[in-house]
Structure 1
Amino acid sequence: MVDLLAGRPVLLLFAVLAVGTAVGAVRLRRVSLGPAAVLFTALAFSAADERLALPEVLGTFGLAVFAYAVGVTAGPSFFASLRTGLRPVSMVVAVLVGLGLVAWGIGRLLGLTPGHVAGLYAGALNNTPALAAAILRLDGSPDPTVAYSMSYVGGVVLLLAAATWALRSGDRHPTADDRSRPSPVRNATILVERDNALAVSELSWTPHGRVLFSRYQGEDGTTRIVQGDTVLRPGDQVLAIGPERALQHLTKQLGRRSGESMEAERTDLDYRRIVLSQRHFYGRTVADLDLFARFGARATRVRRADQDLLATDDFVLQAGDRVRVAAPREQMGLVAAYLGDSEHGTSDINPLGLALGLTAGLALGSVPMPVPGLGTLELGQAAGPLVVGLVLGRTGRTGRVVWTLPHQAAETLTQIGLLVFLAYAGGRAGSAFVEALGDPLGLQLVVAGLVVSGLHAAALLLLGRAWLRQAGPRLAGVVAGSQTQPAILAQAQERTGHDPRVALGYAMVYPVAMVVKILVAQVLTLV
């Protein structure tokens, strides 16, 4: 069997993935190794026989695809966080750079190699791309993988505990701030009692967020699609969509909640979710659809990644978005055909944009950058695609070239890329890992990893409460994002019933944390 696997790398790859994912699915007290189990499985295979290691090209492929897909997905939120979340982002950057100094100091104290120090940093902070950057900088040395393997589990456990502590203190903490909690999108049928003489385009902006108007019913009993210049009169009923507090503000401004539900009346006007699968709309805005002029229809919401978002005119659409449209019944079929309405669009990986983006990312990653006192650094095969992915994900499209990926396709590419790289990385260090287990070095790396992870948890919790004054759910998301650990995010979401503040905190700091860790890991290989 060993001879068979050693001579067939693709067979070996899928054998490692099969065993690793099965082990990673085992949960003990709601905690599982997840994708990291593939790394440990690959370590076990290569420890049994050093021939059971995958070719480097597979590892490079997996890493580049993983990093680029993460970048494209996080691009819009990354640049938005630089504008609106500067304090949390700067806190995470400062903490991660400081932990790099701590890891370097521990390395000097214990006499560790630069590879061990970089791997210790990557493992204690659960960041596989940082491990990859260190391996590439050291020409495939097993030292980073050994240190990563020894420190990884402690990082998961301690940061899971930190996120749990943040959630337990929750909104009862005196510094908790609930203002950051985004409200779900709701409907409200409003009976107009006041004559404001304002067009709905002027009513759309409230102190608590945007509101969209779908349809209204005049005194003659006819239901019509709302236009921007529609003026609501006393006696009219209007269907408004937006955050609950914004709807409450609008209701007070116009009149009161109606006892009727306009959404339930589908005789003349209907509504439907339609999958956006027409390629020429990818990267365009809702206004570019021109639905009202063509069909007398209006888009009210866009569902993306299990979240409903308001379909404002400037909302940029992506492949696979599910657009909720209100339209005359006889026009609904035409609207569906116009937008595509094909489930194939939710899984289209957009081969041209993907190939061009990865080409640009790998090319950028190979450009040497002189750093005074340290020589030259490269972004590498992880950070290069990540940076390009962030930029292109924010850009959306350039002419006819679409850069974005449907959420489902991006998630699939992210998982496949990560698993392939972990299978490669573990296979390069099996024998060195076994030697470290029976050597004082192994215990030193475990303890050092716990120190780095513990300091990370303590710094985030203390600064998050005392300086940022974050509510528990959002702080738990920041902890998960700073650790770049999906298991922590999953636990926090499960415990809070998918409180949107958790995902907001995670998305705000995750991309920055990813880039900083990759760069710090490379610097640690030089000192």
Structure 2
Amino acid sequence: MTVVQQLLEEPLVLLFTILFIGSVLGKAHIKGISLGLSAVLFTAMFFGHYGYQVSETVQNLGLTLFIAAVGLQVGPRFFRMMRTSGMQYGLIGMLIIVVAAAVTIAVAALFDLPEALAVGMMSGALTSTPGLAAAIDATGDGAASVGYGIAYPVGVLAVVLFVQLFPKLFRVNLMQELEQKSGPKRSRESPEVMIIEVTSEAAHRRTLKELKAGRGTSAVVSRVIRGTRNIISLSDTVIMKGDRLVTVGLKEDLEQVRDELGKESDDSFISADRVELRKVTVGAEDLIGKSLRELGLRSRYGVTVTRVERGGFEFNQHPGWRLEAGDVLTVVSSEDRVEEVEKLFSRRKLPVTNVHLLSLSLILLLGVLAGMIELPLPGEQSVSFGAAGGPLLIALIIGHFGRLGPIRARFFQPSNQVIRDLGLVLFLAGAGTTAGEGLVDTVAEQGLTVIAAGALITIVPMLIGFFVAWQLLRMSSVHALGSLCGGMTSTPGLGVLNKLVSTDDAAVAYAAAYPFALVFVTLTSQLLPLFL
């Protein structure tokens, strides 16, 4: 036995070697595509092939951490989206999962695939690591990881290629079609401030609500200046001819409001010295979970929110938007009022990683216990949520409310990311070594049929989901492709799509479909073995 082999016999040396090599490989980019943390799985499969095994305890610890973090991440939006227009994107996500499950049942019967292998292939085709976690938990078989490893590359490449080829094959101008179906859209430029002097007779003695100025766009009237008076603008504020409106938004939207109401004022004193645009980070615990409407920033503080940044994406503000720790708000007002609001959002300063260990421990404990509960089914059968579904369910519920008794669930996004990534790599290391043990034998036994099956499980749901969104629901191509990427849980696909369009529409559709797909692929992966 060599020195290297002796070292790898040590459990911690093996674990951290797999994590190190997998992390290095995951950072490599080929044509803009990278494996990311999934490279840890393939690295672990390599070591597993040669007989090295990561402890099952490490794998289960990673599983519960990862699934709980996913539930806390999507919990604040998942249930609320069911009551909003975002539900149509969620339906696309659910449709893709249902079709993928049906295709998996069909190909498993057609090619006589083992149960665990088929469920794992569905998770790989949908590039869903939570799905893999649920598949392993439900089947108790490492073959699920083998199926995931076989289908995953196909799942990534199929969505990325489809997003790029669709506009060319169907001769669709994405931006032009988006404007035709949804009206003019905003570009990714930063908000600006414009002083608009009201000269329109039609606007005289009418309220902002009656004027509908800027409605449906990023433009917001922050204040009304009448002579020497500085008035906070509300929906019932009456506009007079000669008023100067401090308006904030993207340039093209400001120009639209200017053309409707009057002309741009050259009052540089107001623009330069009285109005300040600033980005404010949400940190105060007692504000997390509240909506912009509930905070009443405009009526109480005279401050207008124009944009909200979350998870690297920027969105136009909406009164019903509920704040999460780490959200970045673009606010506008006078310098003193902006500073007051900045103190409001950071008055209880929290560290960058604000993990509350008591809460996290309780969430995991309750999740594991919930996963052990047996639910009766017809025919004297039963099913349980397991180590994946239990923590997911508890985290979704607690994430929705934000706080239940002593449990606090609103962590900063970086904190949640740390929990999620740490849990994911520990889980992948364990799942990969188990899968690697039988990878070569499985491929040799099944041959090209497993690759063909993986391609079918990817392509059929992808095409059906997209064309239902595009043709039946009459979404624009951008929204349809965005919801497709969310339904397939394909972040690489969204990255490619974002390069093709200059608005945040694709990201919004993705963000609406993704939570539904994430939850339902996890539940489906646990229930699917009952039908195979």
Band of TM-score, shorter chain = 0.7 to 0.9
Q: Secondary structure at the match of 2:448?
A: helix
The aligned residue for residue 284 of structure 1 is 290
**What CA deviation, in whole Å up to 9, does each residue of 1:142-192 have, x standing for no partner?**
221222222222222222222222354575379866418863674442212
Partner Cα distance (2:89, 2:361) in 1: 34
* Contact 2:93–2:484 (CA under 8 A) maintained in structure 1: no
How many Å separate the matches in 2 of 1:193 and 1:446? 67
Matches within 5 A, 1:203-352: 207-208=215-216, 212-220=220-228, 223=230, 225-226=232-233, 230-242=237-249, 247=254, 250-251=257-258, 254-260=261-267, 264-266=271-273, 268=274, 270-286=276-292, 299-309=305-315, 314-326=320-332, 328-330=334-336, 333-340=339-346, 345-352=351-358
Q: Which amino acid aligns with 1:179?
A: S
Q: Over aligned residue pairs, what C-alpha RMSD do you find?
A: 3.5
Distance 2:445 2:272 in 1: 73
Deviation at 1:36, TM superposition (A): 1.8
Report the TM-score, using the length of structure 2 for normalisation.
0.84
Out of 15, 20, 25, the residue aligned to residue 22 of structure 2 is 20
Task: Specify the alignment match of 1:487 in structure 2.
Answer: 492
95-104 vs 479-488, which deviates more? 95-104
Verify: 1:384 aligned to 2:386, yes or no.
Answer: no
Q: 2:416 aligns with which of 410, 413, 431?
A: 410
Letter in structure 2 aligned against 1:525: P
Partner secondary structure for residue 238 of structure 2: coil
Identity of matched residues, %? 26
The 3 A distance-change label for structure 1 pair 257 and 383 is: farther
Please name the residue that 1:135 is paired with: 136
Query: Residues of 2 paired with 1:53 and 1:160: CA distance?
Result: 33
Q: Which amino acid aligns with 1:161?
A: L
Whole-angstrom CA distance in 2 between matches of 1:89 and 1:244: 32
CA distance, structure 2, for counterparts of residue 282 and residue 454 of structure 1: 40
- Preserved CA contact (<8 Å) 1:286 1:316: yes
Tell me by how many angstroms 1:426 deviates: 0.1
Stretch of structure 1 that moved more, 450-459 or 168-177: 168-177
1:3-43, Cα deviation, whole Å (9 max, x unpaired): 3333233x432221110121122222222222221111001
**Residue 206 to residue 123, structure 1, CA distance change in 2 (3 Å):** same
Which structure 2 residue ranges, 5 or more long, are not aligned?
A: none
Give, in angstroms, the shift of residue 314 of structure 1: 4.8
* Alpha-carbon separation, structure 2, partners of 1:170 and 1:189: 41
User: 1:447 maps to which residue?
Assistant: 452
**Which residue number in structure 2 is paired with residue 155 of structure 1?**
155
Residues 380-389 or 129-138, more deviating: 380-389
Check conservation: 1:214, 1:300, Cα contact below 8 A: no
Q: Deviations over 1:206-230 (max 9, x none)?
A: 652585432333223x656546664
After TM superposition, the structure 1 = structure 2 runs for residues 510-521 of structure 1, keeping only pairs within 5 Å, are: 510-521=514-525
CA gap 1:123/1:320 in 2 versus in 1, 3 angstroms: closer
Structure 1 residue 427: deviation in Å?
Answer: 1.3
Contact 1:361 1:384 in 2 (8 A): yes
Mapped partners of 1:154, 1:310: distance in 2? 35
In structure 2, the CA distance between the partners of 1:385 and 1:252, relative to structure 1 (3 Å rule), is: farther
Kindly indicate whether the alpha-carbon contact (under 8 Å) linking 1:474 and 1:502 is maintained by their aligned counterparts in 2: yes
CA distance in structure 1 between the partners assigned to 2:458 and 2:335 by the alignment: 58
Give per-residue Cα distances to partners, 1:49-85, cap 9 Å, x unaligned: x2x3222232223223323333333334434543314
| Matching residue of 2:11 | 8
TM-score w.r.t. structure 1 length?
0.85
Q: Is the Cα–Cα contact under 8 Å of residues 234 and 299 in structure 2 kept in the other structure?
A: no
Aligned to 1:501: 505
Structure 1 residues 457 and 278: alpha-carbon distance in aligned structure 2, compared to 1, 3 A threshold: closer
Unaligned runs of 5+ in 1: none
Q: Which moved more, 1:38-47 or 1:177-186?
A: 177-186
